[in-house]
């Protein structure tokens, strides 16, 4: 019976449909976890909201764009500085945060005037910046502010600026995944095709679904430059607003994160006939395969082989040093969705690590098809896991290391289990050859860190007992 009802879920038995244990003789034709479904009442979800998916994951990455959040200050603050995506222009996107700071009176009387004032103030304060995303949030969507009318008015009055409106309040979907969707589709329909890029190479592509977490984009871009491939748009790591308006001119769309950004790649294929090539950018074996495929598309295979040989010579010995020390470890991956299927085979093939449990916050069934096809038997595959389930799964699989985000990471640290930030990384970048050495190093440092053992030892000795007696 591969769908699993955990003991902690006895009062919410619907959770059984979300937890799968892969066993011999059964496959995804027989069982597939329910996913991208509303979180059940009674389960303490680790998910984010739809607005967060649009702003924090995709839009907020851009390096030349004001991110105006039309709502109370918390929506802006809580999606600022909680991800680390640097830029090559001094990290403009991480230095500043913008909000219309809605208060009760604006909710009662409407917030459109305040939005217009805020947009103009922001452009006046930053006269060199001419691009802006405006996001609705739950309260401003509920009161019906006509955000697009406001942005249209501002653009008519300030012809040198361009504004994209993302109408995706937090309640718009079951998780941050809805925000990815709304931003992707809104952007392709409203902005792609409105700027013509300068073409500098015979070979052009968009690199889609990489958000420059701790420099991922910048690391991979070294490869594309060596290969002579012009990246017209990075969606959206270290990217610019106008580059993304030029996406229609690329010859190829290379997709890393198919969950957050597969929509725009599909639409670029449908509307502009640009093929979509999905690759894995984490891991030596996968990265080499991705480079080979891109080079095969452009007919520059020899260049690709030279690059791969150089990178292997430089980084493989370091990877192998860590492999000797982490192989055989049992790993859990509790992240958003795609990293489950990106990582499960790469850590196994490149580091000899076995993944024993995986949980996805916002993955869809497509993601579970991929990860169950790639993952091991005896491994748990969980949709929208909650804290009590994590406790129980830890007892069941006893992982040696857990890759997850800071929220669940706090739980993991208190249990004295080695933890690595699987979202924003500990010491990234993690993509590419050099990046996977960084991942291996962080894994090694976490597993061999003596502090975990020391933290698990209560040095108070008898003193501890006396406090307990006093409390009793």
Chain positions contacting other proteins, by CB under 8 A: 27-29, 31-32, 36, 185, 251-252, 258, 262-263, 266-267, 270, 273-280, 289, 292-294, 296-297, 345, 364-366, 369-370, 373-374
Q: Which residues on neighbouring strands pair with residue 380, listed in sequence order? A: 21, 357
Q: Say if CB 341 and CB 283 are below 8 A apart.
A: no
Q: Using the minimum distance from each CB to other proteins, give the nearer residue, 372 or 397.
A: 372
> In whole angstroms, how close is the CB of 234 to other proteins at the nearest point?
20
Taking the C-alpha atoms of residue 64 and residue 61, their distance in angstroms, rounded to an integer, is 9
Q: Using the minimum distance from each CB to other proteins, give the nearer residue, 151 or 335.
A: 335
Q: Using the minimum distance from each CB to other proteins, give the nearer residue, 147 or 188.
A: 188
Q: Using the minimum distance from each CB to other proteins, give the nearer residue, 138 or 277.
A: 277
> In whole angstroms, how close is the CB of 256 to other proteins at the nearest point?
10
* Maximum C-alpha span of the chain: 78
Q: CB under 8 Å to 255, separation ≥6 — which residues?
A: 208, 209, 261, 262, 265, 276, 277, 278, 279
Q: CB under 8 Å to 470, separation ≥6 — which residues?
A: none
Q: Using the minimum distance from each CB to other proteins, give the nearer residue, 134 or 258.
A: 258
> In whole angstroms, how close is the CB of 197 to other proteins at the nearest point?
18
> In whole angstroms, how close is the CB of 328 to other proteins at the nearest point?
21
> In whole angstroms, how close is the CB of 263 to other proteins at the nearest point?
5
DSSP E strands in 321-431: the ranges are 330-335, 354-360, 380-383, 401-404, 419-421
Helix (H) / strand (E) containing 131: strand 131-136
Q: Using the minimum distance from each CB to other proteins, give the nearer residue, 70 or 370.
A: 370
Q: Using the minimum distance from each CB to other proteins, give the nearer residue, 39 or 365.
A: 365
Q: Using the minimum distance from each CB to other proteins, give the nearer residue, 348 or 434.
A: 348
Q: CB under 8 Å to 305, separation ≥6 — which residues?
A: 292, 295
Q: At which residue do the structure tokens 């082989």 appear?
A: 305
> In whole angstroms, how close is the CB of 365 to other proteins at the nearest point?
4
What are the structure tokens assigned to 268, written together?
A: 């670029």
Q: CB under 8 Å to 121, separation ≥6 — which residues?
A: none
Residue 76 CB-half CA count within 13 A: 21
> In whole angstroms, how close is the CB of 185 to other proteins at the nearest point?
7
Phi, psi of 401, deg, nearest 5 = -155, 145
Q: Using the minimum distance from each CB to other proteins, give the nearer residue, 27 or 242.
A: 27
What are the structure tokens assigned to 346, written together?
A: 């790469």
Residue 1 CB-half CA count within 13 A: 5
> In whole angstroms, how close is the CB of 277 to other proteins at the nearest point?
6
> In whole angstroms, how close is the CB of 470 to other proteins at the nearest point?
57
> In whole angstroms, how close is the CB of 380 to other proteins at the nearest point?
18
Instruction: Count the Cβ atoms, other than its own, within 10 Å of residue 78.
Output: 16
Q: Say if CB 386 and CB 410 are below 8 A apart.
A: no
Q: Using the minimum distance from each CB to other proteins, give the nearer residue, 84 or 303.
A: 303
Q: Which residues on neighbouring strands pair with residue 403, listed in sequence order? A: 333, 420
**What SS3 state is found at 78?**
coil
């Amino acid at each position: 019976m591969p769908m699993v009802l955990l003991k902690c879920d006895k009062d919410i038995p619907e959770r059984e449909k979300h937890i799968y244990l892969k066993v011999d003789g059964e496959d995804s034709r027989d069982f597939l976890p329910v996913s991208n479904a509303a979180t059940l009442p009674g389960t303490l979800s680790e998910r984010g909201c739809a607005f967060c998916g649009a702003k924090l994951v995709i839009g907020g990455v851009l390096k030349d764009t004001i991110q105006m959040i039309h709502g109370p200050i918390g929506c802006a603050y809580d999606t600022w500085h909680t991800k680390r995506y640097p830029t090559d222009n001094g990290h403009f996107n991480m230095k500043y945060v913008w909000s219309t700071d809605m208060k009760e009176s604006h909710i009662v009387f409407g917030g459109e005037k305040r939005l217009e004032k805020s947009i103009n103030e922001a452009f006046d304060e930053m006269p060199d910046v001419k691009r802006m995303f405006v996001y609705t949030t739950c309260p401003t969507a509920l009161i019906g502010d006509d955000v697009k009318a406001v942005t249209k008015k501002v653009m008519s009055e300030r012809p040198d600026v361009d504004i994209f409106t993302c109408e995706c309040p937090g309640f718009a979907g079951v998780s941050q995944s809805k925000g990815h969707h709304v931003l992707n589709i809104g952007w392709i329909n409203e902005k792609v095709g409105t700027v013509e890029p300068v073409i500098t190479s015979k070979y052009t592509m968009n690199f889609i679904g990489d958000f420059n977490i701790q420099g991922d984009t910048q690391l991979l871009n070294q490869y594309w430059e060596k290969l002579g491939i012009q990246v017209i748009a990075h969606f959206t790591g270290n990217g610019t607003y106008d580059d993304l308006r030029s996406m229609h001119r690329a010859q190829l769309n290379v997709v890393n994160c198919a969950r957050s950004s597969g929509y725009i790649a599909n639409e670029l294929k449908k509307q502009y006939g640009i093929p979509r090539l999905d690759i894995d950018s984490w891991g030596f074996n996968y990265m080499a395969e991705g480079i080979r495929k891109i080079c095969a598309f452009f007919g520059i295979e020899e260049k690709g082989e030279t690059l791969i040989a150089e990178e292997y010579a430089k980084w493989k010995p370091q990877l192998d040093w860590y492999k000797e020390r982490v192989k055989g470890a049992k790993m859990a991956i509790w992240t958003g969705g795609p990293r489950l299927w990106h990582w499960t085979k790469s850590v196994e093939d490149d580091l000899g690590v076995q993944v024993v449990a995986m949980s996805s916050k916002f993955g869809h069934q497509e993601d579970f098809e991929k990860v169950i096809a790639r993952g091991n038997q005896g491994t748990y595959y969980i949709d929208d896991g909650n804290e009590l389930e994590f406790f129980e799964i830890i007892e069941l699989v006893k992982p040696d290391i857990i890759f997850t985000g800071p929220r669940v990471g706090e739980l993991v640290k208190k249990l004295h289990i080695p933890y690595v930030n699987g979202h924003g990384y500990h010491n990234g970048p993690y993509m590419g050859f050099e990046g996977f050495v960084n991942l291996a190093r962080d894994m090694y440092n976490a597993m061999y860190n003596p502090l975990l053992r020391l933290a698990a030892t209560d040095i108070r000795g008898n003193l501890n007992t006396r406090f307990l007696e006093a409390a009793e």
